[in-house]
Structure 1
């Protein structure tokens, strides 16, 4: 499965928008292709410390994940990041969020 940057961003934004602070993804046995892709990308995000699985298929943002959302939530900034080369994207992020979030986002997106 390929890494999808837009899916990662959308999952981060969805998690932050959840009133209870949790996102539940269907178990893999009954999951659609979209839900499987979400699960895969949530696990990539967990690898970088942006989310944590609190129970089976129940995810929440970490403090680092909230920092990432703050950096990625503005559409114009996101479009600029996507069109930038890896070094430029890293530099843009450095001005937008904490150094830990810069490192996590850069690794997750393939920019660092």
Structure 2
């Protein structure tokens, strides 16, 4: 019985190291909503994860140092993205919840390294 358990552990370990990891973008959360870079920092998306009536905005800069925004206004479960620019990649981004009657909180800046 111990040989089977050891063999299973070896197979699981080998599979874990042989499978390539999926690259995940850096994510700036504000509550359950967020901004996230994608496709090797060529674009940014703003995603609304809260059923609260507030929209979500992603603030970001590209290599040319210009500031941009993406605004998701459709509600919970939707994302909007900036589109990709391979020659002018995203340098940093952060999320913001847009509220009607209160201060608009921001998530932390995420930087390309």
Question: What TM-score bracket applies, with the shorter chain setting the length?
Answer: under 0.3
More strand by share: 2
TM-score (norm 1): 0.26
If each structure's helix is expressed as a fraction of its own residues, which one has the higher value? 1
Q: Which structure: larger Rg?
A: 2
TM-score of the aligned structures, taking structure 2 as reference length:
0.26
